[in-house]
Amino acid sequence: MSGSERSKKLEEFQQTIGIRFKNQALLDKALTHRSYINEHKISDSESNEKLEFLGDAVIGKVVCQHLFKEFPELDEGELSRLKSMIVSTSTLADAGRSLGLGRYLQLGKGETETGGMCRTSILADAFEALVGAIYLESGNAKTTEFIVDRLSAKIESFHEGRGQRDFKTDFQEFVQAKYHRRPVYRVISETGPGHDRTFEVQVIIDGKVCGQGSGHSKKQAEQEAARQAMEKINNNIES
């Protein structure tokens, strides 16, 4: 991508997030994955990893303050559980997806070809890096506003007990990006009486079982199978 094309992308993204950076290089760094740095033999300091470290700390602080203020009826344990759901990789990746973050990332060729722009761990890390960059560029107040705005719907959903991670969507996005097809779910067993059935489901790509789960409905079992498949993917990325 040429310099002018990259500048156009950054301009578009700033319009999306409603924040204009005086330091364009800082924003560019927040959106640059280490795979791009390695491929182009650029200094490691130009990847988004240090900004990710900062953003992780800022998000944790802002979420804690918000929960403490908004939900005074919750005890310490309940606040901790709620916080862990909000700052989880999957929730932060969702926040990144809502911004179309994957389209603006600079990834290495291999990472791009294997669906990196849709990968949960990469999107979550990039969202944290973006928050770190906003904090350095615009300060605490603007960063707090941005975080609460992007996470408030999830916070309310988790608080009301409606927040369920949609692993099927995550896995489907990954498979479509990498293999250009949809995963197949197959019921392999149904056990128990009619009022209390247990379903066992496998999720399959090209004849290979990628995950298996059980539940009291086919939908629950499919979600668990997709969760297992996504967990394997993330573990392979981290190893």
Say how far apart CA 38 and CA 107 lie, in whole Å: 10
CB 12 within 8 A of CB 2: no
Known catalytic residue at 94: no
Q: 89-98 and 120-159 helices cross at what angle (nearest 10)?
A: 100
CB 7 within 8 A of CB 106: no
Collect all residues with Cβ–Cβ distance below 8 Å to 89 and sequence separation of at least 6.
120, 121, 124, 234
Say how far apart CA 183 and CA 210 lie, in whole Å: 9
Catalytic residue among 52, 125, 128, 173: 128
Catalytic residue among 28, 52, 56, 170: 56
Tell me which residue of 188, 185, 195, 186 sits closest to 216, measured CA to CA. 195
Known catalytic residue at 190: no
User: Which residues are annotated as catalytic?
Assistant: 56, 128
